[in-house]
Amino acid sequence: MYPTGIIKKIDNLGRIVLPKEIRRKLKIRENDELEIFLDSEETILLKKYSTMKDLKKECILYATILNKETDFKVMFTDKDKVTVCKGKNTSLFVGEEISEKLIDIIEKRMICNVNMASDIKVLKTGENLYPKIIMPLIVDSKSIGSIILFSDDVERVVKDKEYELLKFVASLITTKLEI
């Protein structure tokens, strides 16, 4: 930990305001959730909460199945980073920041069928992954992340059966969280 030099007062409802500079640096947006930890008797830690990190084991399993059944590379993201990625040469993507365009797609809750060559960059680094389907994960009307099928083959098209399997996996994840 390092000191920021910022001191805030707690209001009569027990709230403090996180300064804009800190929110911007940590990419904390309106309605993001923060997890509260007590480190010692005098220390409170706030950590950006990711529902997708809690589902990592399930996502690994579902990504493995989707990759095996569809032969597409599969990526799960939260609203900031790649949490799980399965397929040949994809392990380096885990932990990478996602692009502003993908964040916008997730926030707008729109399924993107990008079967044609697309200018949608998935990662902030701009690496061209050729996404085919981007499906936001929505729980209780709140976007928590996305599932993406992508391929090295620009011409590859998602078939109806593959799309239905992707929808099924998305519903398994979101239903688990709604229960």
Contact in structure between 178 and 139 (CB atoms under 8 Å): yes
**Burial letters for 116-139: b for 16+ Cβ neighbours within 10 Å, e otherwise?**
eebebbbbbeeeebbbbbbbbbbe
What is residue 28's predicted lDDT score, i.e. its pLDDT?
A: 82
What is the mean predicted confidence (pLDDT) over 103-129?
Answer: 82
Residue 92 is encoded by which pair of tokens?
């380096």
Query: How many whole angstroms from its chain centre is CA 65?
Result: 19
CA distance 84 to 76: 5
Stated as kind and residue range, the H or E segment containing 137 is strand 131-139
Whole-angstrom Cα Rg for the chain: 18
**Domains of the chain listed by start with CATH number:** 1-49 (2.10.260.10), 52-178 (3.30.450.40)
Chain mean pLDDT for the chain? 87
Query: How many whole angstroms from its chain centre is CA 15?
Result: 28
Identity of residue 131: P
What is residue 120's predicted lDDT score, i.e. its pLDDT?
A: 83
pLDDT in tens, 37-92: 888 778 888 887 777 777 888 999 999 999 999 999 999 999 999 999 999 989 89
Q: Provide the CB-side half-sphere exposure for 31 (13 A, CA).
A: 6
According to DSSP, residue 19 is labeled: P
